[in-house]
Protein backbone atom coordinates (compact mmCIF):
# COMPACT_ATOMS: atom_id res chain seq x y z
CA UNK A 1 0.00 0.00 0.00
CA UNK A 2 1.58 3.25 -1.09
CA UNK A 3 -0.26 6.25 0.27
CA UNK A 4 -2.36 7.17 3.27
CA UNK A 5 -5.23 7.91 0.89
CA UNK A 6 -5.06 4.39 -0.59
CA UNK A 7 -4.97 2.83 2.87
CA UNK A 8 -8.00 4.82 3.97
CA UNK A 9 -9.84 3.95 0.76
CA UNK A 10 -9.25 0.23 1.31
CA UNK A 11 -10.54 0.47 4.87
CA UNK A 12 -13.54 2.54 3.78
CA UNK A 13 -14.42 -0.16 1.26
CA UNK A 14 -14.10 -2.81 3.94
CA UNK A 15 -16.26 -0.80 6.35
CA UNK A 16 -18.92 -0.26 3.68
CA UNK A 17 -18.93 -3.97 2.87
CA UNK A 18 -19.04 -5.04 6.50
CA UNK A 19 -22.29 -3.13 6.99
CA UNK A 20 -24.02 -4.33 3.80
CA UNK A 21 -26.19 -6.65 5.92
CA UNK A 22 -27.35 -3.66 7.99
CA UNK A 23 -25.16 -4.43 11.02
CA UNK A 24 -21.57 -4.15 12.11
CA UNK A 25 -20.82 -7.18 14.26
CA UNK A 26 -18.18 -7.04 16.98
CA UNK A 27 -15.97 -9.58 15.20
CA UNK A 28 -16.16 -7.54 11.97
CA UNK A 29 -15.12 -4.40 13.87
CA UNK A 30 -12.23 -6.27 15.50
CA UNK A 31 -11.10 -7.60 12.12
CA UNK A 32 -11.26 -4.10 10.61
CA UNK A 33 -9.17 -2.76 13.49
CA UNK A 34 -6.57 -5.50 12.94
CA UNK A 35 -6.30 -4.50 9.28
CA UNK A 36 -6.08 -0.83 10.25
CA UNK A 37 -3.23 -1.56 12.64
CA UNK A 38 -1.46 -3.57 9.94
CA UNK A 39 -1.81 -0.55 7.62
CA UNK A 40 -0.48 1.68 10.44
CA UNK A 41 -3.71 3.67 10.74
CA UNK A 42 -4.14 5.40 14.10
CA UNK A 43 -7.20 4.62 16.23
CA UNK A 44 -8.65 8.15 15.93
CA UNK A 45 -8.37 8.02 12.13
CA UNK A 46 -9.84 4.51 12.09
CA UNK A 47 -12.87 5.56 14.14
CA UNK A 48 -13.38 8.63 11.94
CA UNK A 49 -13.59 6.40 8.85
CA UNK A 50 -16.94 5.10 10.09
CA UNK A 51 -18.34 8.61 9.54
CA UNK A 52 -16.99 9.09 6.01
CA UNK A 53 -18.57 8.24 2.70
CA UNK A 54 -16.90 5.62 0.54
CA UNK A 55 -16.10 6.37 -3.08
CA UNK A 56 -14.63 3.73 -5.35
CA UNK A 57 -10.91 3.93 -6.02
CA UNK A 58 -9.29 1.72 -8.65
CA UNK A 59 -6.55 -0.60 -7.40
CA UNK A 60 -4.05 -0.97 -10.23
CA UNK A 61 -2.13 -4.03 -9.07
CA UNK A 62 -3.91 -7.36 -9.59
CA UNK A 63 -2.15 -8.75 -6.53
CA UNK A 64 -3.54 -5.91 -4.38
CA UNK A 65 -7.03 -6.43 -5.84
CA UNK A 66 -6.83 -10.13 -4.92
CA UNK A 67 -5.66 -9.20 -1.42
CA UNK A 68 -8.53 -6.77 -0.99
CA UNK A 69 -11.06 -9.31 -2.29
CA UNK A 70 -9.75 -11.85 0.22
CA UNK A 71 -9.97 -9.31 3.07
CA UNK A 72 -13.57 -8.60 2.13
CA UNK A 73 -14.32 -12.32 1.98
CA UNK A 74 -12.83 -12.78 5.46
CA UNK A 75 -15.09 -10.02 6.78
CA UNK A 76 -18.03 -11.80 5.18
CA UNK A 77 -17.26 -14.99 7.10
CA UNK A 78 -15.92 -13.56 10.38
CA UNK A 79 -19.28 -13.01 12.05
CA UNK A 80 -20.28 -16.61 11.39
CA UNK A 81 -23.36 -15.56 9.43
CA UNK A 82 -23.39 -15.51 5.64
CA UNK A 83 -26.04 -13.06 4.48
CA UNK A 84 -27.43 -13.18 0.95
CA UNK A 85 -26.69 -9.44 0.57
CA UNK A 86 -23.03 -10.08 1.42
CA UNK A 87 -22.75 -12.92 -1.10
CA UNK A 88 -24.22 -10.77 -3.88
CA UNK A 89 -22.22 -7.69 -2.90
CA UNK A 90 -18.87 -9.48 -2.89
CA UNK A 91 -19.49 -10.94 -6.35
CA UNK A 92 -20.33 -7.46 -7.67
CA UNK A 93 -17.29 -5.93 -5.99
CA UNK A 94 -15.06 -8.63 -7.50
CA UNK A 95 -16.43 -7.88 -10.98
CA UNK A 96 -15.87 -4.15 -10.46
CA UNK A 97 -12.30 -4.94 -9.39
CA UNK A 98 -11.80 -6.76 -12.66
CA UNK A 99 -11.27 -10.14 -11.03
CA UNK A 100 -12.30 -13.32 -12.80
CA UNK A 101 -15.79 -14.37 -11.59
CA UNK A 102 -14.92 -18.08 -11.82
CA UNK A 103 -11.83 -17.59 -9.68
CA UNK A 104 -13.71 -15.55 -7.08
CA UNK A 105 -16.45 -18.19 -6.92
CA UNK A 106 -13.85 -20.92 -6.41
CA UNK A 107 -12.13 -18.94 -3.66
CA UNK A 108 -15.45 -18.35 -1.89
CA UNK A 109 -16.28 -22.07 -2.17
CA UNK A 110 -12.88 -23.01 -0.73
CA UNK A 111 -13.36 -20.55 2.13
CA UNK A 112 -16.82 -21.94 2.86
CA UNK A 113 -15.34 -25.44 3.25
CA UNK A 114 -12.26 -24.37 5.23
CA UNK A 115 -12.15 -24.13 9.00
CA UNK A 116 -12.39 -20.45 9.98
CA UNK A 117 -12.73 -19.62 6.25
CA UNK A 118 -8.96 -19.24 5.95
CA UNK A 119 -7.19 -20.63 2.91
CA UNK A 120 -3.48 -20.83 2.17
CA UNK A 121 -2.20 -17.71 0.35
CA UNK A 122 -0.49 -19.92 -2.25
CA UNK A 123 -3.80 -21.63 -3.00
CA UNK A 124 -5.50 -18.24 -3.27
CA UNK A 125 -2.99 -16.99 -5.84
CA UNK A 126 -3.00 -20.29 -7.71
CA UNK A 127 -6.76 -20.12 -8.22
CA UNK A 128 -6.43 -16.70 -9.84
CA UNK A 129 -3.35 -17.70 -11.88
CA UNK A 130 -5.14 -20.76 -13.30
CA UNK A 131 -7.69 -18.42 -14.83
CA UNK A 132 -4.95 -16.70 -16.86
CA UNK A 133 -4.17 -19.91 -18.76
Residue 47 pLDDT: 94
Helix (H) or strand (E) segment spanning residue 118: none
pTM (predicted TM-score): 0.77
- pLDDT tens digits, residue range 40-75? 999 999 999 999 887 777 778 899 899 999 999 998
Res. 81: pLDDT tops 90 = no
- Asked if 73 contacts 116 with a C-beta cutoff of 8 angstroms, the reply is no
Residue 42 pLDDT: 93
- Asked if 12 contacts 37 with a C-beta cutoff of 8 angstroms, the reply is no
Residue 33 pLDDT: 95
CA-to-CA dists, residue 57 to 8, 49, 64, 75, 122, angstroms: 10, 15, 12, 19, 26
Amino acid sequence: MNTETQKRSLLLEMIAFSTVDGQLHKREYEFLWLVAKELKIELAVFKDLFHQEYSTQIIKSEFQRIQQFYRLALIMYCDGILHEKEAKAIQQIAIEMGLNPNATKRVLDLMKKAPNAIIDPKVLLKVFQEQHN
